[in-house]
Structure 1
Amino acid sequence: MPAPVLHTPRLTLRPHVLADMPPLWEFFRSDRAAYVGTPGSETHLWYGFASEVGSWDLMGHGGWGVDTKGGEFLGQVAITRPPHFPETEIGWTFLAKGEGKGYAFEAALAALHWAWAQGFATLVSYIHPSNTRSLALAQRLGAVHDPNAALPKGETSDETVVYRHMPDTDGNPEAYA
């Protein structure tokens, strides 16, 4: 099953295409990727990229490419659970041209609404404690710090904090509206 296409007022979340790889590779080679796990080679980028595409068939969730309504690629939002993650995560990676315009919030909000409609009870975001922009986005999305949550295998609280996303107590996504 490919990623479903989601629409927001300004964005389209769509299945990844091969043309997304070069700008993602550029992002991961830049200082902007200082707080995220970076692939050591284009081959490793391919493995990660392919896993987010293939996760849709294997797990029913994965990564979306995020475009403006005009078709300009801005980055990605993903709901994933690789083997070293104790819980399913929502994460985001946006290129410099997509930063500071509310695009990450808009895309992540659409992905959260999709997740709640699919029956997810909770998602987490694993964030480096110094990644102030991602911490602020998680909080803006309504997530709360969960210091008791398990960390990904091999990570410590010095390198990862967990923010928990949940729909309203009645199971509706209005908390994220």
Structure 2
Amino acid sequence: MRTFIKLAIFLAAALPCLASAATYQWRDDAGVLHFTDDSDRIPERYQKRVTETDSAAAEKGAAPAQKKQEAPAASDASGSAAKPAAQPVAATTRAKLEAELKRLKEALVPKKEELSRLQHKWMVSKGRTPTAKEIAEFEKKRAKGKATYADNPYVNKSPLSSTIPARVAYRNKLEEVQKDEARVAQLEQELQALK
């Protein structure tokens, strides 16, 4: 019975060592980190970027022993070891810039529509739509050469109405649209430089 207990304790202690398997990790073109314990699930195009982590060392709290998995294709002798590390960073930067550019372009469409609406509101608040009778009277006075600014039916003469709020809203929206357009141009230049 003692031998059986000793054997069971030995197997229980040795079981984690026997069951330990390697964990593989790699970054894709978008910079996303992937993990798997099955080397067959690693896409071929990321084979060069895979690092193998010993899970038994990680479980014990020690620093994980990482070793580069052998690449199926030979790398050129010019020292392109820095390229795989830099490539995901450039791809991530490109993806962020493209996402921001897309978001800004989509947001500009409703902003420009709002700008057009605000400009129309401002123009309408500057004047008024006269009736046919008022237009006829103004044209008669103008034909005689007696029309004055006060006679013009298109001008809003009410002291209670002001064009200032409409003008301020238009100018604020115009400034916002111009700022977004400048940022779009800057992003397009940055993306062009990354090519």
TM-score between the two structures when normalised by the length of structure 1: 0.20
Flag the structure with higher helix content: 2
Q: Normalising by structure 2, what TM-score? A: 0.19
Structure with higher Rg: it is: 2
